Structure 1
């Protein structure tokens, strides 16, 4: 991200660079989407109610080291 890091409460609480939080959308909110949002500076969220969600929790760490 270019420019100064945001300093609002959302960013301070989540560790995100910009105050954008991905909605936890069932079946769409997987590892790839969450990692893309996090890599862009927002806070990616993974749907964890399904078996796929549990797999995505492990996979997301391969895709990003940013807050998810």
Structure 2
């Protein structure tokens, strides 16, 4: 969708980064964001 230096460097289609939200957001949310082309993050 977007083609620029950041999306190529991160290997994502959409420049959206899902913020880690502690115990609220688990692997299911990060997985869904990643499948949609964004960057899903799991907080440790």
- TM-score interval w.r.t. the shorter chain? 0.7 to 0.9
Q: CA RMSD in A?
A: 1.2
TM-score, length basis structure 2: 0.80
Gaps of 5+ in 1: 49-68
CA distance in 2, matches of 1:35, 1:24: 12
TM-score, length basis structure 1: 0.57
Larger Rg: 1
Structure 1 residue runs of 4+, over 2 Å off? none
Comparing both structures, which one devotes a greater share of its residues to helix? 1
CA distance in 2, matches of 1:8, 1:30: 29
Higher relative contact order (CA 8 A, sep 6+): 2
